[in-house]
Chains A and B, each alone.
Chain A
């Protein structure tokens, strides 16, 4: 089982954005791996783990697009346990989802994975598109917003549950396929490869953090630099951001002293109950 997992760096979402003159200034941003991509890496790793003797089987390949600094985030993914990484050189900020998916489709063509795992969205662009576009470009089935995934023992298909507005949908897809993961995927028993792990297999209810041993091992693992020219992809975006503005500021209102005062204000002043 070969699994390709996509990784994008994002500016720390807890830090205040610098917006002025129609521009977003990320020069001083501190970068980290997109949270949903951490979940994607965790999912990919679990799908190669807990064989009968506790052994691993399969390969997890992480791929990112960006400047050389992204090597730092990829090194972190290798320290979590991914086997090797590919860094496609490019201006990550200028790519839209379509261009990103075209680059990934070219990587898929070279790597021929059985499964591509992505986070359901990045928390900077908030687009929630890349996995679906990638599946469409490849002509592969897709399963988005996963809460769980079970790979069949014969490696031919995956049964998943998806978080949808109406509840939880169960879907089966033939491999190779593209899947995107939601937050429930890091549940104890949310991920299982039936070829390896038994029905009782469980993991810690979190994405893993790099151990010291993992960090040491990661230093010896490969991060392969690839250029867009080598992939033969036109990464010209169709959607471009022409300007940024800060959202309107909502003013804090008043504190009320009691439940009775709250009800009176909601009834008489705001007239909402």
Chain B
């Protein structure tokens, strides 16, 4: 059997999640290095939509299906990933570094006894990668030894895979899995019509200077006008102004939109780690010495109170064609 690269694809009832497409791209690059194929893996209770969708991006799909696999539980899903690696005779397991990927992939690595690199940003060879560390202040080149390697893929570092393949689907019926006494009680999903932070073309983020959660309303207006996603600095999340799932930074989400607007954010190292890959950065801050201005393409020194309402008005006018 030729070498293969297993790529874990997250999915819902419609198909695979777009967050997994960059991992498929990284997987294809790695497959070229090892001289093998990409094998996509989908897992769940009912994967009839996900499996054919994944087949558009891979030479082969392993679809783990069973009532016991409802919900992404690391205890029940990680063994399926380990099984997929063995079944495919793979030398590598990849997945996007989403919260599910971060939870699952290291556990799968443990079951495989494999070394793992987190958040890879480049594939250099079959077992060599680049990855950021120290809040993005160092780029490491890493080598992983062993017959099998595992890596999580930074979503913003690889383009989304394009469909083209017509892979064979192999369904693996999973009857029972020991959940080790773990159980998913529920998900309190953030209801939002906005695009995902990781994929939005525009991100508007607020910082500690917004002072309280209610003040984010005006940022939401700007966000929606630009069709973007709302973000926040760790300081704003720490202070409880907004939910932590909005956090952009080293310990939150990494974004790289076309346009990033940082409002009342000083620009701590840990925040810069999550957004300095953006194409165009705008900083609005009343402190002219704020470090955020050192990475901003356009800086405006003023308070959010004085700038955001007129900015909303100006963008509205622009959108109206005048």
Contact = CB atoms under 8 A, between A and B. Distances in A.
Contacts of B149: 238
Contacts of A166: 99, 187, 189-190, 245
A254 interface: yes
Contacts of A136: 78, 106-111
Main secondary structure of the interface of B (DSSP, over half): mixed
A123 B140 contact: no
Contact of B140 (A128, A161, A241): A241
B143 interface: yes
B303 to A, nearest CB: 12
B152 to A, nearest CB: 8
A121 interface: yes
Given A140-B180, A247-B132, A267-B318, A253 B297 contact: yes
B102 A142 contact: no
Interface in B19-35: 19
Interface in A109-154: 120-121, 123-137, 139-145, 147
A159 interface: yes
Interface in A231-273: 237-247, 250, 252-256, 258-260, 262-263, 265-267, 270, 272-273
B78 A159 contact: no
Nearest to A139: B180
B140 A244 contact: yes
Contact of B137 (A17, A183, A272): A17
Interface residues of A, number: 86
A245 B86 CA distance: 35
A255 B301 contact: yes
Given A128-B118, A135-B107, A163-B99, A157 B187 contact: no
Contacts of A144: 74, 102-103
Interface string B106-142: 1111110111111100000000100011111111111
Contacts of A258: 300
A164 interface: yes
A250 to B, nearest CB: 5
Contacts of A195: none
Contacts of B318: 263, 267, 273
B259 A266 contact: yes
Contact of A183 (B102, B135, B244, B295): B244
A272 B279 contact: yes
A242 B142 contact: yes
A96 B190 CA distance: 35
Size category, B interface: 35 or more
A108 to B, nearest CB: 13
B138 A272 contact: no
Nearest to A253: B297
Contacts of A239: 115-117, 142-145
A230 interface: no
Contact of B185 (A11, A170, A237, A260): A170
B150 to A, nearest CB: 9
Contact of B186 (A140, A169, A272): A169
Interface in B30-87: 73-75, 78
A244 B138 contact: yes
B156 interface: no
B280 A270 contact: yes
Contacts of B297: 253-254, 270
A256 B298 contact: yes
Contacts of A128: 102, 106, 118
Choose among A19, A165, A265 the residue with the greatest number of B CB atoms under 10 Å from its CB: A165
Contact of B134 (A126, A145, A253): A126
Contacts of A141: 75, 179-182
B183 interface: yes
B187 A168 contact: yes
A14 interface: yes
A147 B186 CA distance: 14
B293 A126 contact: no
B18 interface: no
Contact of B300 (A131, A245, A262): A262
A171 interface: yes
Interface string B266-278: 0001100000100
A273 B115 contact: no
A273 B102 contact: no
A127 B118 contact: yes
B129 to A, nearest CB: 9
A58 B146 CA distance: 41
A172 B74 contact: no
A239 B179 CA distance: 29
Nearest to A165: B99
Contact of B259 (A129, A162, A171, A273): A273
Given A17-B138, A96-B115, A129 B180 contact: no
Contact of B182 (A11, A173, A245): A173
A24 interface: yes
9 contacts: A126-B118, A131-B106, A133-B116, A168-B187, A168-B243, A171-B182, A240-B143, A244-B138, A266-B282
Nearest 10 CB-CB pairs, A to B?
A238-B115, A174-B181, A136-B110, A132-B106, A253-B297, A141-B182, A170-B185, A129-B106, A136-B107, A167-B190
